[in-house]
Structure 1
Amino acid sequence: MSAVLVVNSGSSSFKYQLIDVDSRMPLASGLVERIGDPSTSSGTMGVAKHKVHFAASGDGSPTVTDATYVQELPIPDHAVGFAVMLDAFETHGPSLSEAPPVAVGHRVVHGGARFFEPTLITPLVEINIDELSVLAPLHNPGALQGIRAARAAFPELPHVAVFDTAFHQTLPPAAYTYAIDRELAEQHRIRRYGFHGTSHKFVSEAAAGFLGRPLEELKQIVFHLGNGASVTAIDGGRSVETSMGMTPLEGLVMGTRSGDIDPAVLFHLARRASLSIDDLDALLNKRSGILGLSGVGDMRDVEAGVDAGDPDATLAFEVYLHRLRAYAGSYLAQLGGVDVISFTAGVGENSARVRAGALDTLGFAGIEIDAARNEARGPGIRVISTDSSAVTVLVVPTNEELEIALQTLTVAAG
């Protein structure tokens, strides 16, 4: 068994998943959160959740358990959080001392222009991740804390960083360059980097495999629609255009993020509403998107509002779809046609209404959605276009943790 421990660490929490790469099955997963909360003064405790997906039966074969264990205790830092995680593995299984992972893979949001592939973590790589925190101040510092805690917990194992931005390092200069003063942009590393790269890579490759067609021959558009959302144009397996920019704020309308907006709006709000830089940051990242338009941040609640005749929910939904169609049309032009369009992530995989609405003006390109297929639910990859559609439209469940595990194992194996 080639098990890889995948870690996704933030400033006050981390998620983990132990994956058997051979079978592609998660053996266990968990979440450690509220790290660093002042438990002694406020009574707030850290929370650790550990879920065992498969355990060994009497004959040694795996059996499904899906048992979840929760505990509350002080977790002052990531090092203690990893100790809590290790104890959960030993107490509830599977035992990492008896069957240790072969490597640890770490999700890192921003690799800048320095990292274009999964990278074995060394002290120099840690320094680079730290330096790139200026581009992702909310993400890279937390990832670095998790990396250091994990390396202390597993000093004998190879640790690999898998960067959200790496898949988009194939963007051509015309796609990643912003039209501002060149010297200033170079000095401050201002360019489009793109995000959700592990998901876009996984989904585009899964779609090609499902269709039995060479990845190199396909022109694809992948919609990753969750609370954060992005769309990528992929030509022959290479990202050639993507909606997120220097940060994950640009592009589509998201749960709480505005996506594209005239930059002069910020100047206007600073001058007329006396909003500070921090106020504007919070506005666009936390109080905009469908939350800012409708008052709710979950697409299921927005759709319920639409059904109830709520005008705010209806407008939010229409704005959301308008942006999806705009990007779909743009990427059709950039690719010069498309073979496959895939929807993934929470909204993309579960909202038939969003999928239909995103493509309902693209009949001119030969795209036809089969209403019954689109409404049907089921596991795995499924086709939702008609048999006569010139473009195959798919729902492809993403698995970023598995993609990180696969890339980690490739690097660890040398």
Structure 2
Amino acid sequence: MPPRKRNPNGSGTVTKRADGRYQAAVYVPQPDGTTKRKYAYGKTYEECDRKRRELIDRSNGGIPTPTRDMTLGQWFDYWLEIVVKPNLAANSYRAYETAVRHHLRPRLGSKIMVRLGVKELRGAIQALAEDEGAKTAKRALRVLSAALTAAMVEDIGLTRNVTKLVHVRASTDSGKSWDAVTVLRFLAAARRLTPYYPTFLLLCLLGLRRAEVCGLRWENIDLDNRIIWVEQQRQRASAGTIDAELKTETSKAPLPLPAQCIAPLRWTRMRTAMLRERAISQGKPWFEDPDGHVFVTRTGRPLTPDQLYLVLQRIIRVEGLTKMNPKGLRKSCGTLLVHLRVHPRIVKTILRHSRIATTMDIYAEALDQDVVEAVGQLDRLLRQPARIRELEAGSDLETAA
């Protein structure tokens, strides 16, 4: 009788359990560099053997495969490097990594992920809220929720996301907005104080984000037909400041260019040409921008969101206006559109939100005078004794019939 053929090292095994199911066992690499035995189960031998081969393929490809005894700290390392970093924007990765490093890992990093319970998670989040504030705790809970949702996709035994059972009560502060008079004062000051006045026109009239304004290229603007396409945004990355894709396709919708933006944009193009000619004639450094950005610095480099923010703050300080940031200008645009009785779906289209709830809940708060007028209309509606008596009489006749 020939000797039984042994499986080669590293190929794993498939055995039948007492309950009738099949179990595959393979040694796989872990995110921390160690090797552990990973189990997979199937109703049939073929199903289980397929899972065994998938584990071996991942191992041969150098892809770590988490196991059930993985801690949250180990999962965070894997999730940030393998899931978040390649698939999300650099700013999103930085935000997630910061929340993990400062808030989640110190409090929950040593916990076994599949054993994390509601009680201990609630205690950790409440302690974070007391130490750092409710808003910080709420953001950290959202990051943890995203990490656990990704873990449920992996075959490591996690069957529920406990963050869905823990809630943090924190007020939603979407920032203040300016009324029409204040916006006009700001634009008048911007026209007087900075050559980047057209950027603030786009922020106030179209509600563009500052990264989108800085990422605009001349190929995105049709001055003759008054159309603008927002297709990229200027962001910081490990390689420097680059143009990145927008988050959603909704953000790429074309917009009508307001008439008062045409002349300032033409002037901006002439200014860039003048700066270039002067720098070359005087032997000063000049950056030849291959992408043709609309707004550039004195040396020809594309304007960055941080530089635009500093210009905004200087104008506010000189004019003596209340505190404001570029996001607040975007919110002011939405609020003023609502004040003009523009339909919410039109406001959503202008601000290019994927959900109308975002438009109404965050950017389009009602102005005080709108609230007063609405209450007054309701008061006048319900202050009609003759009409009320008429309705009551009609109701009594219907009852008698």
TM-score bracket, shorter-length normalisation: under 0.3
Q: TM-score w.r.t. structure 1 length?
A: 0.24
Bigger radius of gyration among the two: 2
The answer to which structure has the higher helix fraction is 2
Q: TM-score w.r.t. structure 2 length?
A: 0.25
The answer to which structure has the higher strand fraction is 1
